Structure 1
Amino acid sequence: MTAFFQGILGASSMALGALIAVAWQPGRKFLAAVMAFGSGTLMAAIALEIASSVYRSANVVVLVGGFLFGGVLFISLSKYIDEHGAFYVNPPLVVAMWWNTKFLNPMSWWTTLPIVR
């Protein structure tokens, strides 16, 4: 019975959020902050779950090494993808880049586009 009420409480948060969204339209910065907090919380929970199992089965050196390797891999892949044209898939970013550079040299943004292979 306790699980039933906890399920109802958890499911009611979606209905409550929908009612709040109908009555109040938050700004973009507020939405971005809430989404960043939620994604950070999810990533922290996953990392804590993984870290505790690795710490129990291995040692702290393996745990720290895994975090360092994962961070370096993430940054390296993100940089590689950005350098090979993924940045330009998002039209608002291209428009923002064009808007910021058009006053200096109207065609300077064109020369920064990578060659997609």
Structure 2
Amino acid sequence: MLEAAFWGFVGGAALLIGALAGVYLSASLRLIGLVMAFGSGVLISALTFELMREAYDVAGSTAAIAGLFAGSLVFFAGDWLIDRHGGHRRKSPRGPQAGAGATALVLGALLDGIPESAAIGVSLIDGAGVSVAVVAAVFLSNVPEALSASAGMRASGRSTGYVLGLWSAVTAASTAAAALGFGVLSGADPALTGTIQAFAAGAILTMLVDTMVPEAVEHAGALVGLLTALGFAAAFLLSTA
């Protein structure tokens, strides 16, 4: 469990790196959009070739697809509720919408980050060691995600202490999610483990299309497709190495 917690922290620590960059560096909206696109491609590749492939192998097609849609529906429902309470566009470098509450922003960050970290913990269960591709994908996608959201929160008047405190809390939650993902499911039926992996994949995929990709397209335009493909290719090569 300690190993799972460590790798969860590694993935979550990227949020702090991105937050520091968003607060202290003056990155252009276009650059932020391009980096978000690359991170999206990395995560799409990881959830395809690591999470869903493993889910299919150990749980079968029916459980894998059911888990995928269940994760998607749960994220959709949670995201809808958070949007209604002011968490809409929480990843925008221009700042969240007016009136966005602290609770909505925190819950939104947790909703986005926990499925990724849980997937890291679950990847350790087979005893073959952590999935480097999944950790790298989470790390590389968390940096632009936190960079964009932090720049936006600062633009909307949030203090540096608030921004860094938020991402520190999410990093702690990510560490715990990875540990719990391993601890709770260690020794469980492989079919259940595979279904949980597919669940995480569905939540991550829905998060990408609902929040990260639209922001990337808005700020970086037509080049987003190319950068997403580049991120996908980089993660694919890592998963096959």
TM-score interval, smaller chain:
0.3 to 0.5
Q: Which has the larger radius of gyration?
A: 1
Task: Give TM-score, length-normalised by structure 1.
Answer: 0.47
The higher-RCO structure (CA 8 Å, 6+ apart) is 2
Task: Give TM-score, length-normalised by structure 2.
Answer: 0.25
